[in-house]
Amino acid sequence: MSVGARAPRVLAVHRSSSHSFSKHPEDGITLVEGLGVEGDAHAGTTVKHRSRVARDASAPNLRQVHLMHAELFDELVERDHAVFPGDLGENVTTRGLDLLALPAGTRLRLGQEAEVEVTGLRNPCSQIDRFQPGLMAKVLDRDANGRLVRKTGVMAVVRRGGVVRAGDTILVQLPETPHRPLEPV
């Protein structure tokens, strides 16, 4: 699952106590089992994303931690969009791991202790174009069969708490087969 000879790594970590679009860089974040990122507005056992709260505030929070691959930022910079870690609201920016290719239920150990389970894809919203006009079109694509490809990372729940820092390794544990592809959550 890694790109090149290097093991996948955490490039940066972020959080925000408000429902702001971008998140602030941190030296480290603490993941809390069953809740999410300590001090982040999206932490909790039930949904915290405003549109989901409006639909059903009692629904389980499958979006406790947002992970995004730094390779997307590389691609966006090449396409004239200056976007960097934390800008799109992720908690964990990764390098060397194809997050979008992971099956649902994949477990990622971040650093020495923390472990998250991938629940699905982040569905990009209109706030992306408010952040930078035209950016939404760059974070969506179509595959060879014409299906929509969402490039804005994956969502996860915390299965084991711990501190996560930039430079931490990422260990990947795939679920048993048959694998289920990621769907938006």
CB 15 within 8 A of CB 29: yes
79, part of any domain: yes
How many domains does one find in the chain? Answer: 1
Per-residue pLDDT at 114: 98
159, part of any domain: yes
184, part of any domain: no
Two structure tokens written together for 137? 């079109």
- pLDDT over 50 at 2, yes or no: no
- pLDDT over 80 at 4, yes or no: no
Classify strands 140-142 and 114-121 as parallel, antiparallel or unpaired.
unpaired
Percent of the chain topping pLDDT 90:
91
Per-residue pLDDT at 5: 59
3, part of any domain: no
Per-residue pLDDT at 3: 43
Per-residue pLDDT at 49: 82
CATH number at residue 29: 2.40.33.20
Per-residue pLDDT at 1: 46
Q: Give the span between the Cα atoms of 124 and 120, in whole angstroms.
A: 12
18, part of any domain: yes
pLDDT digits (tens, 9 = 90+) for 122-178: 999 889 999 999 999 999 999 999 999 999 999 999 999 999 999 999 999 999 999
182, part of any domain: no
CA 6 vs CA 10, 18, 31, 100, 158: distances in Å: 12, 35, 25, 19, 25
179, part of any domain: no
185, part of any domain: no
Please give the residue range of the domain that contains residue 90.
9-173
Q: Share the mean pLDDT of the chain.
A: 95
